[in-house]
Chain A
């Protein structure tokens, strides 16, 4: 088991290195390929009317004049040991993990992202708990009585959930519960440690809307998986032991049906942690997703790079956790 985890860990690190290289390559090579000179890149950092001396200084400081491999190496080094930038009034150490400075605001990328993380984490975690519990429960109940009124209603709702886009359900929820009946007033994010009640209250609507979308998918997934596992021979064996039906369904049926659900959950959660772009926009939450949108709109390369790598990191991390969970759930996985 431990050797399995270590193997997965090593491959996760390798994967992250590859992802970072490719992302870095794309973001710093593409402008070049598009005919943008390093002067123009440096100019983005300075602003409107730079002198040639300014440009030269910035190029030197940011290392824009170096070959791309060296730049990538410096970038990696910055993430692990930090970088000292020595120029101008804001001469400072860019702390670990250093993703550089924003071209537009000249603020360090990481602290900016870091300040947005709690919002996205709260949003994703709360919604994930909601959708896993409701989705899996609905799926199991549907599978126990396929074709029943409950099953048909649940699956119709699930179909609606899958089909309706986030910006529609989100806007609808806002219109109904914030403007029509102001149950959940619009307010800025409140940190959990500051006021748990307010924290939850601001997040209820985004949680529910996000969970509605995802739980629909999970209900269908669970239902299909349960219908399959409940017809397996080992379920009959479990019944032949004299186990109560509840235990048969949960310990023997659901346990086996969980594997595909864990896989999808890892992907979904990883993607969400990298920023719930639409949800954060709809509910004006200043999370990582909103940050990414701002960065892209401003064409702020270091910010885009930082947030992209963060998203990649979360996806790789979640998949790592999924792999370990997999092995914990299904002992046959550990062998391969």
Chain B
């Protein structure tokens, strides 16, 4: 089942024919990341296409196991960084970063881009930082991988970065170990480490999930400020729609390893076109909502990535699965179709019907 026939208007309009060099800064086409296991092939990402320009932020949302983290690791080339990992994953499709194709590139070439042109912030900064090395040592290391400078220069750079991300007394704290930092400071240090080489692409994988709510906002502000300053492209991966509402220009909703909805953030928020997105919005707590109203969870659990449901992967959990005729939702996989203005949705419901359900049934309850 190929899904490369995705409509290439809108955000990906600049992308011409396959194999040609794209105009977008980051262009991912029909990306598939499969993990062969004893139980079968886990199709973590199964045909994903998106693009991103410098200075823009893309939010990828979806529940656990939807393939969003696997996507980010695939862009970073981290599924194949070590030789012993390479037999455990099969990747296809294309990832173009600034004119270079990464899926077919030599892993060592991708390694040289890692940390320099693309960097990543991880979910839990305590486990993502090495407990035995000082924060400064780890930032210095990140800098010296890509810059032939002596330790003193690199250390100055590390202090500078710590200062930039808002760590007080950076010249002293640079020698502290991660366990001596608070959770928010650790994530700041992580960000300093990711940005030390001025990467043009920053991927933040659930950057605020492990943090206190008060710290979350600070970290998001920091990421936004730094993006403005450095003009880099940012991908924010999260299950928290509140996070992307703050930051993202574009939104990509993933379900079962595929994109079910994609478009400019304000459009996806104001007029979502997929029942799964409705479900995500309905399960998000809101301060302006009447307290007697209950959250509406998405019923059921995420699909198996080995035996993905036929037709629309969301059909077992979709309350509107029976609306389209001929059992269409259970037999034919819906393709992404533009609903207008660079807003795409993969759903068999007729567009008028979707708009009616959204405005009459869903929106009033949110």
Contacts and interface: CB of A to CB of B under 8 A. Distances in A.
Given A233-B122, A233-B127, A240-B119, A245 B132 contact: no
Contacts of B120: 240
A146 B179 CA distance: 31
Interface in A285-304: none
A242 B114 contact: yes
Interface in A227-255: 232-234, 236-245, 248, 252, 255
Contacts of A331: 131-132, 134, 177, 179
A237 B130 contact: yes
B128 A239 contact: no
Contact of A234 (B76, B112, B114, B130): B130
B122 A236 contact: yes
Given A233-B128, A252-B130, A256-B132, A240 B76 contact: yes
A242 B128 contact: no
A9 interface: no
Contacts of A332: 131, 177, 179
B78 A239 contact: yes
Chain B interface residue bracket vs A = 20 to 34
Contacts of B128: 233-234, 236-237
B53 interface: no
A238 B130 contact: yes
Nearest to A330: B132
B95 to A, nearest CB: 16
B132 A242 contact: no
Chain A interface residue bracket vs B = 20 to 34
A237 B129 contact: yes
Nearest to B83: A245
Contact of B112 (A242, A252, A256): A242
Contacts of B177: 331-332
Contacts of A248: 81-82
A239 B81 contact: yes
A282 interface: no
B185 to A, nearest CB: 16
B116 interface: yes
B124 A242 contact: no
Contact of A146 (B84, B129, B132): B84
Interface in B134-189: 134, 141-142, 145-146, 177, 179
A144 interface: yes
A12 to B, nearest CB: 24
A329 interface: yes
A145 interface: yes
B289 interface: no
A238 B78 CA distance: 10
29 contacts: A144-B82, A146-B84, A234-B128, A234-B129, A234-B130, A236-B78, A236-B122, A237-B128, A237-B129, A239-B81, A239-B114, A240-B76, A240-B114, A240-B194, A241-B142, A241-B193, A242-B111, A242-B116, A242-B145, A243-B141, A243-B145, A245-B81, A245-B82, A255-B130, A256-B131, A256-B132, A330-B131, A331-B131, A332-B177
Interface of B: 76, 78, 81-84, 111-116, 119-120, 122, 124, 127-132, 134, 141-142, 145-146, 177, 179, 190, 193-194
